[in-house]
Structure 1
Amino acid sequence: MSHLPICSFTHLLIYPFVCLLAACGPLTAAPTPAPPAAHEDLLRHYAPVIHQGAASDQDFLTAADFDGNRVGNDNWQHQPTGDLSAYVYGSLIETESHWFLFYALFHPRDYTPEPCAESGGCHENDMESLQVIVAKDGTPFGRPIALETLAHSHIYLYRLDRSLRGGALPVKGWAALDEGHPIVWVETYGHGIYGRRLRLGPSVVTYRPGDVAQLPAGLDEEAVSYRLLSIYETLWPYRAEMGPGRFFDKPFSYRGQVLAAAFDGDDWGQDKANTPWGYDQETGDVLSRGDWFLDPAKAFAYHAAPTGTFSTRYLYNPYLADLP
């Protein structure tokens, strides 16, 4: 009986693997995940495009100190003469698995088409807000999965990813993006925010994130630039300024700490406009006033019952860190 030489036998064993490598190409290591973007870049990347209904300059969004002071109960009087250049307040909180990007829109007046004395629907100061929830996926800016918007007494949940199913809040539909920026529609007069198209009127001002705080030239403007302001740097440091003639009012207890639920205001009602950390909408029996902003992972877990990897352990939450 003849035998193959050892070298020939080895050749027969190795040859198929050589052919396989030749067909598939050289083996390469898995790509290294890109480092996440800086918090400021994330806030700018997901800053919303805002379609604001407008009947007058009372619908122009601006900063809470548009009149040059941190007094809440003179804003109704100062609205006609104050600086109505466009600002939006922003904040980012980070867990092991997600980023929570919060944006707040301030108007000095919430008003009605009818005279306020007749309508009963006006009040001094108005702050409505929205939140974009982004899942970390190894790319610098992650994958946006949900948009939440506040309109008066309700928070509405919109889908930015098929994985979102909804929890305590039903999903209202798909939100839209404009070059990566969520699009929102803001009511004329009352300024409620929605993630689906509204019939706005009589005019519309469209605000887009930029480096300059522009003042709309009129009521029909398609590209007014707004600047982002840090909630942590511009509003949060003054959270203890509460009482008549101060910035904030309507104290409440949050985990043993006294915070302001509203901006101080006395025209057409007392202290009607919530601070970012003062919302108590859609809390059910699980959440507390303030959780939507201060503990967004807990709030989103309740609102949306997210699937897949979802951590409530914070890597960056300066607000809770400031509360002993």
Structure 2
Amino acid sequence: MFPYGKKMIAAIACALTFASFAPFQSAHAAGMSASDQAALAGYWSPVLYQDVGANPEADIPVPVNFDGDWSALNSWDNIGNYAKGSSLPLNPSVYWSLVETETHYYISYDFFYAAHDPKGSLGDHENDMEGIMLTIRKAGTEKEDGTTVTNPNGEIELVLMPRHAKLGMYAPASGASYEPGLDTVYYDDTFTVENHATGKHIPVYSAQNDEYYTESEGDFGHALKPYNGGGAKGDTGYVFQWGGAGSAAGNMNASDNWEAKLGDFDDSKRMNYQLIPLETSLWPLRNDFTLNLWSSYGTFLGDDGKDNAANTPWGWSFEGYRDLGSGRMLYDPAGFVDALFDGLGQFSTVYLTNPYSG
């Protein structure tokens, strides 16, 4: 069994700020502060290229309680109240979580949608949560090739993106990558990183609902993959990003943003999303079955389309890797990566910051 360091975070800073992080020194280093976690989550936050279809409000990532309550049984019913022309605020939002070992940060970004509604009927279900996980080597640690990371905020070595219960695996477009450790492990593609004043950001594509669930590339129902510059289907998409410390989140129902920001992934029209810490928002409710939120641990209630078909990160497991356990990418990401890959270089499974281990 892997040893876990359990550090409960009292609060997350309202304004995200940059920080530099000390190089790896010893197994007894303290876990990260709440403000340092938030700053690192902002620094590595993705740029989201969100395709939208005929009902774009259901293609916008929002908080689970976007409608003012924690019921998952009315998400599909209520999202239409926030469509174009509404005076209600609809704020693009991204959940983040961070786990730290002696050698790596594992930062996840999760996107919640009120409905998974591709064309046809077999793929419909209320609620939808998709996400990505970045494996980031810490400054001062040695890679497999013998070089040492010098960027104080680390270096991305791997990105995992679940796609409809399958696990997409992506290597850096430049630089060394891990070696597959199992016969079933292979890289789907590569990812790139944009450099901005706010940090380093991976461009990520999210598919629209308005596509058949049998679409050949699997690009339906908010499936995620690295964005390759191919544009939005029908020239109808939005680009969302974190705007930096102290920036305000956008509102789809303000300033005619539904039309003004719509385009063929026009980077000049980027809108800000808000970053929400998973640890202090949704995670504390995980065992509260007095709410109309869960059908079981890690699974949302839902009664439109297929019942109870959407999972949270602590309920995720993946085709071909079920034996690694549900939720392991969240609560034991180092063990998860270690089980899938070889050639990891200096690699520790000793956790310094892990609020999801218990």
TM-score (normalizing by structure 1): 0.79
> Is the contact made by 1:286 and 1:302 (CA closer than 8 Å) also made in structure 2?
no
Task: Report what 1:194 is aligned to.
Answer: 225
The one of 213, 217, 232 equivalent to 2:249 is 213
- Match for residue 17 of structure 1? none
- SS of structure 2 residue aligned to 1:319: coil
Q: Which residue of 2 aligns with 1:162?
A: 176
Query: Quick one: which amino acid aligns to residue 225 of structure 1?
Result: N
Q: Secondary structure at the match of 1:318?
A: coil
Q: Hey, what's the Cα distance between the residues in 2 that align with 1:147 and 1:297?
A: 13
CA drift at 1:196: 4.5
Q: What's the CA shift for 1:294? A: 1.1
- Compare CA radii of gyration and give the structure with the larger one: 1
- Report the alpha carbon displacement of residue 149 of structure 1 after superposing the two structures with TM: 0.7
Shift of residue 121, structure 1, vs aligned partner: 1.9
Is 1:73 matched with 2:89? Answer: no
Label 1:238 to 1:306 Cα distance change in 2 as closer, same or farther (>3 A). Answer: farther
Q: Secondary structure of 2:334's match?
A: helix
- 2:202 aligned residue (149, 168, 182): 182
Q: CA RMSD for the aligned pairs?
A: 2.0
The counterpart of 1:100, out of the listed 100, 106, 123, is: 106
Call closer, same or farther: CA 1:200–1:302 in 2, change over 3 Å. Answer: farther
Q: Which amino acid aligns with 2:69?
A: N
Distance 1:111 1:182, change over 3 A: same
Task: Check the 8 A contact 2:49/2:227 in 1, yes or no.
Answer: no
SS in structure 1 of the partner of residue 80 of structure 2: coil
Whole-angstrom distance in 2 between the partners of 1:306 and 1:59:
38
- Cα 1:96/1:183, change in 2 over 3 Å: same
Of Structure 1 and Structure 2, the greater strand share is in 1
SS at match of 2:39: helix
Give the 4+ runs in structure 1 shifted more than 3 A: none
Q: Which secondary structure state, in structure 1, belongs to the residue aligned with residue 248 of structure 2? A: coil
- Corresponding position of 2:189: 173
CA offsets per residue over residues 34-85 of structure 1, 9 Å max, x none? 6269211110011000111111222111110000001111111100124421
Residues 51, 206 of structure 1: 8 Å contact kept: yes
Aligned-pair identity in percent equals 27
Residue matched to 2:165: 153
In the aligned structure 2, how far is the partner of 1:200 from the partner of 1:261? 32
CA 97–262 in structure 1, closer or farther in 2 if over 3 Å, else same = same
Greater per-residue helix proportion: 1
Counterpart position of 2:15: none
Once the two structures are superposed, what CA deviation does each residue of 1:217-237 show, in whole Å capped at 9, x if it has no partner?
124363010010000000111
Which residue of the other structure, out of 235, 240, 247, is the alignment partner of 2:282?
Answer: 235
The question of whether the paired residues in 2 share the 8 Å contact of 1:242 and 1:264 is answered with no
Distance 1:201 1:214 in 2: 23
Q: After superposition, where does 1:283-322 map in structure 2 within 5 Å?
A: 284=321, 286-320=323-357
Determine the structure 2 residue equivalent to 1:7.
none
Per the TM alignment, residue 286 of structure 1 is displaced from its structure 2 partner at its CA by 4.5
Write the deviation string for residues 280-320 of structure 1: whole angstroms up to 9, x where unpaired.
Answer: 11462641011011111111112333421111110110111
Letter in 1 for 2:132: L
Larger RCO (alpha carbons 8 Å, 6+ apart): 2
Q: Structure 1 residues 306 and 241, CA, compared in 2 at 3 Å: closer, same or farther? A: farther
- Per the alignment, in what secondary structure is the counterpart of residue 81 of structure 1? helix
- CA deviations on 1:177-226 (whole Å, 9 max, x unpaired) are 11120111111110011125366322111111123221231243630100
Offset of 1:171 from its aligned partner? 1.5
Stretches of structure 1 that go unaligned for 5 or more consecutive residues are 1-32, 251-259
- 3-state SS of 1:271 partner: coil
How many residues in Structure 1 have an aligned counterpart in Structure 2? 275
Alpha-carbon offset, residue 276 of structure 1 = 1.6
Q: d(CA) in 1 for partners of 2:322 and 2:308?
A: 25
Query: 8 Å contact 1:283–1:289 — kept in the other structure?
Result: no
List gaps (5 residues or longer) in structure 2: 1-19, 24-31, 83-88, 141-150, 210-220
Moved more, 132-141 or 166-175: 166-175
1:299 partner SS: helix
The amino acid that maps onto 1:170 is Y
Deviations 1:263-290 (A, max 9, x none): 1111111111111211011462641011
- Please name the residue that 1:140 is paired with: 152
The 1-side partners of 2:170 and 2:227 are apart by 8
1:248 aligns with 2:294: yes
- Aligned to 1:232, the other structure's residue is in SS state helix
